[in-house]
């Protein structure tokens, strides 16, 4: 038996929560590289809109072999319109997130993206008619208090651009709600295939208004952005397959640690204590909601 097969066998023998934790740490590492790669991609003056398009294009090219191999079933959906809408929501959220990563401190942006499940709870109650108990409403309010701690409006000056990650979280929450609805009709692989297909035209249209041909090194950074995005989604799917959301969500907080570390060493960005405190409050609220029951929220999936 080779070392690789021995390692795979050992990993498979681990309890589900342990495997889920490791997969979530892998997802957090991949997600944590997204902000720095965006920064490197815009360093030569390439517009964030163009970066978003190339990220989507690379992701599509990586998924394309699977789509072609399963051409008869990959895009077979009972609700194609809903798939397109979900893809559009996800890509709008991605565009806003990339704009934020290009212009704002990475740690604060990362902390604010944790608010997506909070918006998802509100959307589930208002749009899907789900019954949200009082404990989850209280947890949601606590989570938004965490958002206030990160930004501290009225206490310190707040860059208006911080609206970008918050609105991004709204669209990501809308995308995740669509996933929840589509899961009753289509397979997860079909939903991923549709996202890959929809992402290219949705991101191409705004990119054309800001188009410049990137430098070769920028193409490398953007390619890495697409590769790590696919790795993040793969690890995230494996994490939720291995264990329940309440068991793996606490490890998603490591995404803030990874992002802050990159931000410090690569861009000399030092997150404030309020970023850590607010991020912990938001994640704590999300984990509590996941433990309380139905429709456990999940982290962003764009």
User: Which pLDDT belongs to residue 250?
Assistant: 82
User: Which pLDDT belongs to residue 96?
Assistant: 96
Instruction: Answer whether 93's CB lies under 8 Å from 171's CB.
Output: yes
Which residue would you say has higher pLDDT here, 109 or 239? Answer: 109
Mean pLDDT, rounded, for 18-30: 90
With respect to residue 210, please indicate whether it lies within any of the assigned structural domains: yes
With respect to residue 42, please indicate whether it lies within any of the assigned structural domains: yes
Across all residues in the chain, what is the average pLDDT? 87
The first and second tokens of residue 21, run together, are 């934790």
Say what the alpha-carbon torsion angle 32, 33, 35, 39 is, to the nearest 10 degrees.
Answer: 160
At residue 295, does pLDDT exceed 50? no
User: Which pLDDT belongs to residue 1?
Assistant: 54
At residue 144, does pLDDT exceed 50? yes
User: Which pLDDT belongs to residue 154?
Assistant: 61
With respect to residue 10, please indicate whether it lies within any of the assigned structural domains: no
Give the C-alpha distances (Å, rounded to integers) separating 78 from 46, 183, 200.
39, 11, 22
Domain that holds residue 282: 17-292
With respect to residue 272, please indicate whether it lies within any of the assigned structural domains: yes
Instruction: Answer whether 60's CB lies under 8 Å from 199's CB.
Output: yes
Phi, psi of 20 (to 5 degrees): -60, -40
With respect to residue 297, please indicate whether it lies within any of the assigned structural domains: no
What residues have CB less than 8 Å from 175, skipping those under 6 apart? 86, 89, 90, 93, 301, 302
* pLDDT band with cut points at 50, 70 and 90 for residue 124: confident
With respect to residue 9, please indicate whether it lies within any of the assigned structural domains: no
With respect to residue 2, please indicate whether it lies within any of the assigned structural domains: no
pLDDT digits (tens, 9 = 90+) for 146-201: 999 999 876 667 889 999 999 999 998 888 888 777 877 888 788 888 988 999 99
Phi, psi of 243 (to 5 degrees): -155, 165
From CA 299, how far away is CA 150, in angstroms rounded?
A: 18
From CA 97, how far away is CA 259, in angstroms rounded?
A: 14
With respect to residue 90, please indicate whether it lies within any of the assigned structural domains: yes
Query: How many structural domains are present in the chain?
Result: 1
């Amino acid at each position: 038996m080779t070392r690789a097969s021995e390692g795979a066998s050992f990993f498979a023998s681990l309890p589900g929560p342990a495997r889920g934790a490791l997969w979530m740490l892998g997802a957090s590492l991949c997600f944590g590289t997204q902000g720095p790669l965006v920064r490197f991609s815009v360093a030569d003056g390439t517009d964030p809109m163009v970066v978003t398009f190339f990220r989507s294009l690379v992701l599509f090219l990586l998924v394309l072999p699977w789509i072609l191999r399963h051409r008869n079933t990959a895009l077979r959906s009972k609700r194609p319109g809903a798939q397109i809408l979900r893809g559009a929501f996800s890509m709008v959220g991605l565009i806003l997130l990339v704009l934020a990563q290009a212009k704002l401190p990475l740690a604060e942006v990362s902390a604010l993206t944790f608010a997506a499940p909070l918006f998802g709870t509100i959307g589930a109650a208002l749009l899907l008619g789900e019954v949200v108990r009082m404990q989850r409403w209280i947890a949601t309010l606590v989570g938004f208090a965490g958002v206030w701690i990160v930004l501290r409006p009225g206490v310190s000056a707040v860059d208006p651009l911080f609206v970008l990650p918050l609105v991004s979280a709204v669209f990501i929450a809308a995308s995740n709600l669509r996933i929840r609805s589509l899961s009753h009709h289509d397979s997860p692989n079909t939903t991923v295939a549709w996202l890959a297909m929809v992402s290219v035209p949705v991101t191409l249209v705004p990119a054309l208004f800001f188009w410049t041909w990137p430098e070769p090194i920028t193409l490398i950074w953007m390619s890495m952005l697409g590769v790590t995005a696919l790795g993040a989604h793969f690890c995230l799917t494996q994490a939720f397959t291995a264990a329940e959301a309440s068991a793996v969500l606490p490890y998603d907080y490591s995404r803030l640690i990874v992002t802050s570390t990159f931000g410090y060493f690569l861009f000399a960005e030092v997150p404030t204590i309020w970023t850590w405190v607010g991020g912990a409050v938001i994640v704590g609220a999300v984990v509590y909601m996941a433990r309380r029951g139905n429709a456990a929220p999940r982290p962003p999936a764009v």
